[in-house]
Chain A
Amino acid sequence: MATQPIDRFATRLAPETQAAVYNGTKIGHEKRTKMLFDHYADPNQLRRLAGEIKQHVVENLDTYLPAVEARLQANGVKVHWAATAESACNAVLEIMQARGATKMVKAKTMVSEEIELGEFLEARGIEALETDLGEFIVQIDHDHPSHIVKPIIHKNRRQIATSFEQHGLGAYNEEPTVITARARQWMRPKYLGADVALTGANFVSVESGRLVLVTNEGNSRFCLAATKCHIALVGIEKLLPRDRDLALLLNLLGRSGTAQQLTVYTEFITGPKAAGQPDGPEEMHVIFVDNGRTDVLASSCRDILRCIRCGACLNVCPVYRQASGHAYRSVYPGPVGAVLSPLLMGERFPEKADLAKASSLCGACNEVCPVNIPIPDLLLRLRDKAKTEHVHSPGTPPMGAWAILATQPAAWKAALFGGKLIDYLPTKLLPIPPLRAWENTRTIPSWRGGEFRKWLKRRRRKQT
């Protein structure tokens, strides 16, 4: 029987990569759980509340988007809208060209990966340098991030040291402190020589127009201290209604994603620099990006838009830790990606419909999600969608015959008695592909079809 692409990818995964991903995710999950339960009597109550707040936002984006636009403009921020990846890239390009800018420094933003901004700008002679250490390493390696929060969870120090050496960052040295110090030294002149800073935003408060950036390395601060123009790429779903909601969500975000009460730096930005401040952007732009989000919003899986990109679901997912992020062929992997990535494809949904199959529906993701997204339910809906749209799914047995048996009691009972055949026939002769596939790695218990019903009959006879 054919198997699924993500399963085949897992069979080819190098053991050292699998080990790195397993260790990284396991520790991430265990620390997250310990911290939440140490700090709060009922962290699940907080998750459910945060989920209700974000669901409210998702279902009221028609009100909140114009409201936040007005607020941002009142704060002196220029607001742009980009329906597609291409128009988002062009919006960035136009801002840079208007300034004669050729050098950009980027803080980590998954939206920029989605729209493939780096390649777009490089092709037009603009340097777009990743400043987050993990993303920087991905960039010099021409690799892709494999985790939404820990982009190089799949790499070990030896691989990083080799990359650094190959890219002129010094002789081979795998000491993490040395690697980090080299990145620090190398990046400083780059920040100071850049024209434009690009960031994302973890949240935008509609009430105040505050963009919230959550980081640890100081790279987004440096981008915004050294350059004169700030461009923020923001998915249309990243809103929160009020500043007070920020306190709740920030308390959950760090703990869920990286077992930190707060990341080292939480920046609240309402506009260009203050009047008396010598350093920082004189000009600020927010580009609200759709790129398929309105398709998700129109679907029965719109709850996925609550996601605050913490990565907790990746860290706990038993499938992600076996397959690693690259198996999902998407900017967003893991449980959140299994819902979001196929839907962001719009009409090209069939190309990624298999992602929704790569799950045992264990529900661990929902249990750790700081906004309580019912991911298994959404995966099931996507499986229904794929079947309805006749998307081919290797390895999934057709259910027509089974449905007939299971709605005809007489046929069912006959099958219960007839199934004894599997005890006698070699498996490869069995006309049931799932049974053959099962037997590749597992024994099948002996057939006991009909025995329980016989037992009941015998007892009834004895009682009468």
Chain B
Amino acid sequence: MADERDLILGRVKKALAGLPTRAALPDYHGDLAVMRSRIAGRDLAELFAEQLANFTGVTFTDAAELAAHLRTKGWLRGYCDPALWPGLAPHFGAGFTVSTEFDRTRVDDYDFGITRAAGAVAETGTIILADRSTSRRLGALAPWTHVAVVRRSEIFADLAQAVAAMGDDPNIIWCTGPSSTADVEGILIRGVHGPGAQIALIV
């Protein structure tokens, strides 16, 4: 296999050897692709909620309202990050069955999964998940409804800022609305292999 490596790198070198000069890496302002007019003067949490709503996402700032919403939808069985549950439990009350353990042999028994977000992006209505702050990948992914708990102070204005702040978490996911497909005749359907409903709780 070291042969394959040498073979490929040798071919690459040979292929480029004849170039009189190599194209330079252009310098550019990191803000170039930011949608400035959308962001200017806006409260980031408000902008985030507005953008997320474009993708049928719903935002709450009050855990009781979140619980009421889940109850109205009939989503009563859930998984919750054990670190979050003590703070949320008082608002959930009777009727809910919430476990702080996720049983992967019963993925369809959870109507919702509540996990921590690592941030959000106002420009695009994006929720940022990271491995170190997501209690269970499956808990954020498999239930029909995902509730991401977002800290207000961790809402970035734009994607460039979100990229700059990425750090070394091995698995960062930008989630913009619920899972979707348009493979069948270009018709948009939400809720494919991931959640069909995306909720954010801003704390």
Q: Which residues of A contact B (CB under 8 A)?
A: 20, 23-24, 27-28, 39-40, 45-46, 49, 52-53, 55-56, 58-62, 65-66, 75, 80-83, 87, 91, 131-134, 137, 150-153, 156-157, 160, 176-177, 179-181, 183-184, 187-188, 191-192, 208, 210, 216-219, 221-222, 224-226, 236, 241, 243-244, 246-248, 250-252, 258, 260-274, 276-280, 288, 290, 294, 297-298, 302
Contacts and interface: CB of A to CB of B under 8 A. Distances in A.
A273 B131 contact: yes
Contacts of B177: 264
Contact of B192 (A87, A184, A276): A184
Interface in B1-32: 1, 4-5, 7-9, 11-16, 19, 22-26, 28, 30, 32
Cβ-closest 6 pairs across A and B: A218-B194, A298-B15, A218-B179, A294-B11, A274-B131, A279-B137
Nearest to B187: A176
Given A272-B170, A294-B11, A221 B141 contact: yes
Interface string B127-163: 0000110101110011000000000000000011011
B78 interface: no
Contact of B12 (A53, A62, A226, A276): A62
Nearest to A91: B1
A227 B180 CA distance: 22
A177 B32 CA distance: 39
Contacts of A225: 137-138, 141-142
Contacts of A91: 1
Contact of B160 (A82, A177, A247, A278): A247
A266 B22 CA distance: 31
A271 B181 contact: no
B203 interface: no
A23 B186 contact: yes
Contact of B171 (A137, A151, A258, A269): A269
Interface string B21-47: 011111010101101000000000000
Contacts of A302: 15
29 contacts: A49-B28, A52-B24, A52-B25, A53-B25, A80-B1, A83-B4, A83-B7, A180-B181, A180-B184, A180-B189, A192-B107, A222-B193, A243-B166, A244-B160, A247-B30, A247-B162, A250-B159, A251-B159, A263-B176, A267-B174, A268-B166, A268-B171, A268-B173, A270-B169, A271-B170, A277-B136, A288-B8, A294-B8, A297-B12
Contacts, number: 256
| Residue among B137, B159, B173, B184 with the highest chain A CB neighbour number at 10 A | B184
Nearest to A151: B183
**Interface residues of A: mostly helix, strand, loop or mixed?**
helix
B137 A217 contact: no
A306 B163 CA distance: 22
B173 A265 contact: yes
Contacts of B4: 80-83, 87
A354 to B, nearest CB: 25
Interface in B89-109: 102, 104-105, 107-108
B192 A216 contact: yes
Contact of A218 (B136, B141, B159): B141
A297 B186 contact: no
